[in-house]
Amino acid sequence: MFQAFFIILQRDLTLAIRHRAELMNPVLFFVLVVVLFPLGVGAEMSILEKIAPGVIWIAALLSALLSLDRIFRTDMEDGSLEQMLISAQPMSLLILAKIIAHWMITGLPVVLVGPLLALFLGLSVDGIETLFITLLVGTPILSAIGSVGVALTVGLRRGGVILSLLVLPLYVPVLIFASQAVGAAAAGFPTVAPVAMLSALLLLALSLTPWAASSALKMSVS
């Protein structure tokens, strides 16, 4: 059973690496969105460092949203999704593997690049440290919650628009706890509470979303 998990994980990662060009897109989008903020808001460092946690996190949300499609769409189109559904393996386990693969492909780069960008927004060292932690803990949550949204909309023609409407409200707690944690760290306050909440959300997401996504996929594909 766990073998199937690793097989799927490996498969998704291999497929992603084969299309290396596409790998850069979510990260480039992420960087671009962050860069837009100083251009739109003004280059005053005092303002930028205040909004930096929120800006980075919102960019992370949007970039996650944009990249969600890939979790199930190609599999649906080439029929491998149906194969997974009728296989003897529990679908939720396979979906968990796909969520983790998706995170490694789209979330992990954001975790690594985000703190660098934060420097450009004037965030302090303490802030950047906490930013890294929140991104590390939070971006998998985005992949997990997003997988449910994609599972519900993968069969639809203009599913992308509805996907955003469905998923963004669910992302709000992650955004709140993460950006508040970073803001607190930058101001010298303790960050235990919001980071703990984020970790709890991560555990909750990883345990519940594969089940919900599998239920939704069975409906979408039937």
Q: What's the DSSP call for residue 105?
A: I
CA distances for 44 relative to 39, 49, 52, angstroms? 10, 9, 12
Nearer to other proteins, 3 or 222 (CB): 222
Q: Which of 153, 182, 186, 202 touches other proteins (CB under 8 A)?
A: 153
State yes or no: residue 173 binds other proteins (CB under 8 A). Answer: yes
Q: Which of 94, 131, 137, 216 touches other proteins (CB under 8 A)?
A: 216
Distance CA 36, CA 172 (A): 21
Q: Which of 7, 36, 156, 196 touches other proteins (CB under 8 A)?
A: 156
State yes or no: residue 134 binds other proteins (CB under 8 A). Answer: no
Query: If we measure between CA atoms, which residue out of 140, 128, 123 comes closest to residue 191?
Result: 128
Contact in structure between 33 and 58 (CB atoms under 8 Å): yes
- Judged by CB under 8 A, the chain residues 192 through 211 that form the site for other proteins are 197, 201, 208
Q: For Cα atoms 213, 26, 107, give the angle at the middle one, nearest 5 degrees.
A: 55
Distance CA 195, CA 177 (A): 7
Nearer to other proteins, 28 or 161 (CB): 161
Interacting residues toward other proteins by CB under 8 A: 148, 152-153, 155-156, 158-159, 162, 165-166, 168-170, 172-173, 176-177, 180, 197, 201, 208, 212, 215-216, 219-220, 222
